[in-house]
A and B are shown apart, each in its own frame.
Chain A
């Protein structure tokens, strides 16, 4: 009932906005979709890690930044943006693996302790990265064919790169879904979500599965770092920003659900861009108010399942 009312209100507001300035409305809509894609990329790793291991990894933002820096160095040396993306993925995956083996393995089930440890790790990592790479702004150099602007109906010029991000997010989202739903490893992961003990009893090396999942989740953060850094540059402070964004997306969408992460990202992207376009002063507050309301009404996220 409430949902229908909300949808009606949004529809009415949309009609008014289109009549007022159609170009702005559709540009904002597209911007929101593409921003949502970026948020989805970042948050997908987080949701994967929490979904299986109930591991709260608040160093996720640091992994994003770390992957971006390493990706930048590789891209700078080799001149290839694709290599940079791969390097971002791999470097973050390795750090994630190390974290899992050294830290998380000994803290299964201790939510609060994991939270605190990862907060500590993120503070330490942030300062180390500041030490190594300084406080300058780094931007990437994607290949020319996905850079520049495209002509689109209604909105005229639109940045090509943002469309590329959208395509990438859809591709990775589908790949992730296929991985979880259709491969053996994915099956093990999903079984582990439901019953870890049974999974171990059926002969699967649960620790290996955990390590692999964490590595993938972390790697996704690093990949998002390069992709996001190409759209919106890299500098210290990005780690907190994307951590908060991932948290909001995943909480609103429900932890452990790839579809939920997509919905959460969409909601947040829409809220942020439309807020910035039509009510810039308080746009940032909207995002977090949505998160608060979502959690207040659905304490485990909009699509979350009970533990």
Chain B
């Protein structure tokens, strides 16, 4: 069978049968990694399927809740909890995409985000007048995201031959190297103090430094990222990527360019992380080496794992829990011990529910007897 025919077969086969619950008796041919929530009616055209993706009741409820949230929440919660979760979640989503669907756990996603943030400060306006070029914000953001994506591609190209733990190590090393570079270099990165006063722009009369407009900006970017991942993993590229995750040798013999797919995955993840990085630099109004140190890099991994890497929503769930813990653990526990709380929660989740919160949710649903049974496919229980 030629590669093209195989691809077509995979695509239509998945679309036709992925939605059916096992209870209906049909063979549950489902590709690993596809979201367990069925939204597709068989026999429909691609367009209607995509639309159906967007307008199911569940999605509508969540969407409305997200849209309405700033109106009922205080500005602090909208900004520090809501917008920060969305921004961090977007960066973690890039890791979920790369690690969950691509099988390459990269710790350098925060680095890519940091590069984008630094470039926004360097190309735009900031407190370091000697370094910042003062370009208009659309140009600055465009170049920042583009160059950061290129950097992500380079990181991918360097890391593509490694596997498993070695990928983690090499991306960690790249991240730490960049951290020290940013800390020590004063001509471009302004060293230890970094850049202050990097402000989000005003468009029309809307000042994005305000909590509510910024929240909607972050929400828009997060939704775009979420749906990009959802649609991409059902597209031929995403399916090939998952195949490569599961068995690169077989995919290679089928004629797929394994290395190219992997590097492209790094690039896509890099794009999402870069946009997340721009959001974060506008959120903090500053960037410094501390933003992308080892702790920050591992935090993204913690967020992705906490939520669960089996579905893109996991990244955002993890981000919300993480941000809440970071802000409120100090009120619940003896002030000095909140690191213990965060570490303990993370440890508990990883020990008892490798699929994070989503895994816990699936367990709960299975226990309560509703919904689909847990998969016996061991890949479902992948770390």
Contact = CB atoms under 8 A, between A and B. Distances in A.
Interface string A76-113: 00000000000000000000000000010000001111
Contacts of B294: 240, 244
B336 A288 contact: no
B351 interface: yes
A285 B383 contact: no
Contacts of A295: 158-159, 162, 166, 169-170, 173
Nearest to A287: B177
B301 interface: yes
A111 B176 contact: no
Interface stretch (A64-72, A118-126, A167-175, A193-201): A118-126
Interface string B167-187: 011101110110011001100
A295 B383 CA distance: 23
A300 interface: yes
Chain B contact residues: helix, strand, loop or mixed: helix
Interface string B214-230: 00000000000000000
B258 to A, nearest CB: 14
Interface in A187-217: none
Contact of B184 (A123, A285, A299): A285
B158 A116 contact: no
B176 A288 contact: yes
Nearest to A106: B351
Interface stretch (B4-12, B29-37, B260-268, B342-350): B342-350
Contacts of B168: 112, 115
Contacts of A29: none
A145 interface: no
Given A112-B164, A115-B168, A300-B166, A124 B343 contact: yes
Given A124-B344, A292-B158, A292-B170, A116 B176 contact: no
A299 B181 contact: no
Contacts of B99: 112
Interface string A235-263: 00000100010011001000000000000
B343 to A, nearest CB: 3
A288 B174 contact: yes
B127 to A, nearest CB: 23
Interface residues of A, number: 37
B173 A112 contact: no
A301 B383 CA distance: 24
B166 A299 contact: yes
A278 interface: no
A299 B176 contact: no
A154 interface: no
B98 interface: no
A56 interface: yes
B360 to A, nearest CB: 15
Nearest to A113: B383
B90 interface: no
A285 to B, nearest CB: 5
Contacts of A120: 343-344, 346-347, 350-351
Contacts of B176: 244, 288
A288 B337 contact: no
B173 A127 contact: no
A117 interface: yes
Interface of B: 99, 105, 158-159, 161-166, 168-170, 172-174, 176-177, 180-181, 184-185, 294, 298, 301-302, 305, 336-337, 339-340, 342-344, 346-347, 350-351, 354, 383
Interface of A: 56, 103, 110-113, 115-117, 119-121, 123-124, 126-128, 130-131, 240, 244, 247-248, 251, 281-282, 284-285, 288-289, 291-292, 295-296, 299-301
The 5 closest A-B pairs by CB, nearest first: A123-B343, A120-B347, A288-B177, A113-B383, A112-B383
